Amino acid sequence: MIDLAAGESAIRLSLSWVDWLILIVYFAMIVWIGYSIHKQQKSSEDFLLAGRSMPAWIAGLAFCAANLGATEILGMAANGAQIGTPTIHYYLIGAVPGMVFLGIFMMPFYYGSGVRSVPEFMYQRFGKGAHVIVSLCFAVSTILQAGINLYAMALILQAMLGWSQWTAIIVSAVFVLAYITLGGLTSAIYNEVMQFFVIVAALIPVTVIGLSHVGGWSGLTAKLDSMKGWSGSIHAWAGTGIGNVTNPVGGDWFSILMGLGFVLGFGYWTTNFTEVQRAFAAKSMTAARMTPILGAIPKMLIWLIIIIPGMIAAATVGNLFSGAHPVLQYNEAIPYLFKMYLPNGVLGVAITGMMASFMAGMAANVSSFNTVFTYDLWQDYVKPGQNDKYYLNMGRIITVIGVFISVFTAWIASQFGNIMTYLQTLFSFFNAPLFAVFILGLVWKRVSNVAGTVGYVCGIIAPLITYILYLQSVAAGNPIFGSATAETWYGAIISCLATWIVAAVLTPFTKSKTDKELEGLTFGTNGIKYFKEASAEELEDAKRAAKEAGKDVATVKVPWYKKPLILGTVIFVLGLVFYIPFF
């Protein structure tokens, strides 16, 4: 992945009063949204889970926008500038399949069981020990990720506006704190929907203008092919043979499919509560299932306005990224295009879009952190049995504490030379083993509490050892993986295997739960009932709509585009079709 750590930047943007006005109006709007929602927060569920009242399309856009943080926009554009189209693996294999899988297979268990968080499902399936460990690990990893978003944001604001890193960190943290503390998850979701459109409005102009300047897609690829110093590729799967890795990512096809696509991709999108929380906020089982599936539609397309601008930067000012003393860092690809192509006014929208992406990522982290800390740690183990207003107030207090800690974890992120690899490493440590134990627990009812918990812990230790061995091999000049990115992919595979092997070995020697205790928690203990309930709900929704339209409800059928299984399959296939031009 790309080095996002930058020193003094060559970029300084000259903002007019119109640009500053757009920024000020935007900041005022996000605080106003939080304030206007504040009076509606009557319970802890209203604050922490948006009252489970969100329609699918709003939750779906928020689901996608929650992932469009600073590391996504800057990091993936930077990868486009340096490694080219292989970056689409993170979208078409690393995201879309996992999002579809969540909607089709995982949400029925989550929503149907009535849990309020992913760790709470872990409690029902594997007991208190697993619940405590998963909750603590999630809280730690989420706050570390919030710090990454803050730090990445500080880098770019320093580059574009000349602010100091700590000024940028504190100012942005204060605004995120304001609307999350006032309006909770509802505020975060509505702001994320607005932020999604602002981000798109910022990136489309620079993509269109940039492509026009380089002669369209054919002109861009021709220019990149002719560049001797460019280390990237316009062919996503070139050089990925096992034992013959020549692609700029440093990974072979197996690590891409299994490490990124299966373990990290499915693990992130199905067990990372930062994302899944948006589906938990949906108003019904059907809406919850459709949330990640609808979110996969923009996710399948948005790489076009993130990766392509990076490639345009490589084609137009690639010489500024290279040499012994580069003028630009790769993470400055999009900001530099802003400077090159956008006039005042449009520039204000672009800067606002970047600010929106920064805050969307951090707000998603903080809103999931306060839910897990309040429900899964404080309510269950520190102060159980309090009235609901107590937990509502505690949720707000924890939000303030979470933002405050994030300011300091931003400093931790600043100590890493490559914060994108740092982020992927966190995923291999925490998301990979959680996904492994979740899947095992769903398909094998025999897995015991002890086996699942110990397997999860070993799944954290295994990639940590792998990471240490990789660092030692790099220091010795003989790296065991093609790149730090490839290490995270193989680390995730090793984590998954370690979890499964340890759990499988321990299960015969430990006591499992009875079928009654596991009712509805596995496929083998009537978990299929949730899928039947979901199908019945889809039909009832279709009948209700037909009745309102004055149609005969006796012959009504659910349209294919309202069936998660069919729509999800269509989106999955379309995602694979997007690969065809880049083979």
pLDDT at 366: 81
pLDDT in tens, 100-119: 999 999 889 888 888 888 88
Which string of b and e fits 75-109 if b means at least 16 CB within 10 Å?
A: bbbbbbbbbbbbbbbbbbbbbbbbbbbbbbbbbbb
Give me the helices (H) in 163-264, please: 165-214, 216-226, 253-254
Q: Do residues 43 and 388 make contact, with C-beta atoms less than 8 angstroms apart?
A: yes
- Report how far apart, in Å, the C-alpha atoms of 345 and of each of 12, 491, 560 are: 16, 45, 43
Classify the C-alpha dihedral 421-422-423-427 as positive or negative.
Answer: positive
Average pLDDT over residues 240-247: 86
Instruction: Report the run of H or E that residue 452 belongs to, with start and end.
Output: helix 449-475
HSE at residue 83, side-chain half, CA atoms within 13 A, is 25
Nearest-angstrom CA–CA distance, 73 and 65: 11
Nearest-angstrom CA–CA distance, 353 and 347: 10
Q: Above 90 in pLDDT, residue 400?
A: no
Q: Do residues 274 and 105 make contact, with C-beta atoms less than 8 angstroms apart?
A: no
The pLDDT-based confidence of 6 (bands split at 50, 70, 90) is: very low
pLDDT at 503: 96
Q: Above 90 in pLDDT, residue 455?
A: yes
pLDDT at 483: 87
Q: What are phi and psi of 240, to 5 degrees?
A: -110, 20
The candidate with the shortest Cα–Cα distance to 424, out of 148, 173, 196, is 148
- Report how far apart, in Å, the C-alpha atoms of 277 and of each of 104, 116, 156, 520, 560 are: 16, 9, 28, 21, 26
Q: Above 50 in pLDDT, residue 131?
A: yes
pLDDT over 90, % of the chain: 34
The pLDDT-based confidence of 38 (bands split at 50, 70, 90) is: low
E runs forming strands in 467-524: none
* CA geometry: angle 9, 149, 415, nearest 5 deg: 65
The pLDDT-based confidence of 484 (bands split at 50, 70, 90) is: confident
More confident call, 507 vs 545: 507
Which string of b and e fits 536-573 if b means at least 16 CB within 10 Å?
A: ebbeeebbeebeeeeeeeeebebeeeebbbebbeebbe
Residue spans of the domains in the chain: they are 50-579
Q: Do residues 181 and 399 make contact, with C-beta atoms less than 8 angstroms apart?
A: yes
Q: Do residues 173 and 407 make contact, with C-beta atoms less than 8 angstroms apart?
A: yes
**27-41, 100-114, 370-384, 390-404 — which is least confidently predicted?**
27-41
Q: Which two tokens stand for residue 345?
A: 């006014």
- Report how far apart, in Å, the C-alpha atoms of 369 and of each of 74, 107, 139, 376, 409 are: 24, 20, 6, 10, 14
CATH 3.40.250.10, applies to 50-579: no
Q: Above 50 in pLDDT, residue 71?
A: yes
* pTM metric for this prediction: 0.89
Q: Above 60 in pLDDT, residue 190?
A: yes
DSSP letter at 244? E
